[in-house]
Amino acid sequence: MSTNSMKYSYFPLQRILVQHSNVSKPAFLNISFQFLSFMTRSDNKLIMIGDSQLSSIPFTMNITNKYDFSLIIQHDLNINQLSCTINASLDLFNVQTIDKISQRFHSILKQLFISVEDQMNKSIYEISLILPNERLIMQSMNNTQVSFSSTVTCIHHEFVYQVIKHLQKLAVELDEQFLTYAELLHYVQILPLHLINKYVIVPGDIICQCVERSLSMMIGMMAIEMSGGVYSALSSRNPQHRLHTLIEQTQSRLVLVHWMT
């Protein structure tokens, strides 16, 4: 892509910026990508220009970086080899962040070059950004299988059992707010009756909940379980179109919200 785009390298940057007159300082100007293609002389032969003698030396580059973040790729045509350099402002990035970025970039290149034939038709989003050590962590965290006995009951049955054992103990606590098991059961029993009587919720109906972290979140979760519905969480931090997509994909009957969402 870089070599093919070089035929447009003469195009003036100012002419591009004119098309975006509402942008006073384009953000992309803080980021630089350079692809340098060159050929080195391996024989170190002397070159005569008049009375002067010139000798070829290996290609070196010293750049005073004026960008917040830059990636420089040097392509040696002699040996057909790429070398990459990342420069970043330490005012904006710490060394660990840049190290992680370089590891991910190296991982992408490795995936592309190891099996080029398989990767040629792949879109960029199909290439994994996950590092091998992160993949192991994910596998260990997702290994959530637990052996249960055949006498296991539903989660809301277990909740009621805990209420009977710890009636006046704190069940939920958030900042200065708290509910005892008895109080939580009281609110949790009201909402399922409302869902069943007004919206005719039947076992297996999917009900989404989009609330900020609060006592209402716990009440809604347990109420959905008690009504026989299937709980599905929505984050209010997601864009609106993302929330609509999730609701359509889950085919949710209802979405529980509160005044903040």
- pLDDT tens for 186-206 read 999 898 899 889 998 888 899
- Final residue before a domain boundary, out of 134, 165, 180: 134
Percent of the chain with pLDDT over 70: 82
| Assigned domain for 149 exists | no
The count of structural domains within the chain is 2
Half-sphere exposure of 47 (CA within 13 A, CB side): 8
Say if 245 falls within a structural domain. yes
140 in any annotated domain: no
Shared domain for 62 and 180, answered yes or no, is: no
CB atoms within 10 A of CB 126: 9
Residue 243's pLDDT is: 92
Q: Taking residues 58-66, what's their average pLDDT? A: 55
If asked whether residues 79 and 29 sit together in one domain, one would say yes
161 and 117 belong to one structural domain? no
In order of 129, 138, 151, 225, the CA distances from 144 in angstroms are 23, 11, 20, 21
In a domain, 123, yes or no: yes
Q: Is the dihedral of CA 194, 200, 205, 206 positive or negative?
A: negative
Q: How confident is the model at residue 176 (pLDDT cuts 50, 70, 90)?
A: confident
Instruction: State the chain's mean pLDDT as an integer.
Output: 82
Sorted by sequence, the CB contacts under 8 Å of residue 187 that are 6+ apart come out as 179, 219, 223
- Whether 141 is covered by a domain: the verdict is no
How far apart are the C-alpha atoms of 158 and 170, rounded to whole Å?
16
Whether residues 18 and 92 fall in one domain: yes
79 lies in the same domain as 120: yes
Least-confidence region, from 13-27, 78-92, 166-180, 203-217: 13-27
| CA 213-219-220 angle, 5° bins | 80
Q: Residue 48: which residues within 8 A CB-CB, separation 6 or more?
A: 54
- Assigned domain for 86 exists: yes
Q: Is 153's pLDDT higher than 90?
A: no
139 occurs within a structural domain: no
Tell me the per-residue pLDDT of 235-259, one tens digit each, with 9 for 90 and over: 988 999 999 999 999 999 899 998 8
How large is the C-alpha radius of gyration of the chain?
30
Q: pLDDT for 84-123, tens place per residue?
A: 899 998 888 999 999 999 999 998 888 877 765 665 667 7
Answer yes or no: are the C-beta atoms of 185 and 218 closer than 8 Å: no
For residues 171 and 82, membership in a common domain is answered with no
pLDDT of 248 reads 92
Residues 126 and 188 in one domain: no
Pairing of strands 254-257, 206-210: parallel
Asked if residue 142 is part of any domain, the answer here is no
Instruction: Indicate whether 21 and 119 sit together in one domain.
Output: yes
Provide the CATH number for the domain around residue 207.
Answer: 3.40.50.980
The pTM of the full predicted model, rounded to 2 decimals, is 0.46
Q: In this structure, are 101 and 184 located in the same domain?
A: no
**Are 119 and 184 in a shared domain?**
no
Shared domain for 119 and 175, answered yes or no, is no
Q: Are 59 and 76 in contact (CB under 8 A)?
A: yes
Domain residue limits at 81: 2-134
Q: Are residues 102 and 176 in the same domain?
A: no
Q: Taking Cα atoms as reference points, which of 144, 143, 151, 155 lies closest to residue 230?
A: 155
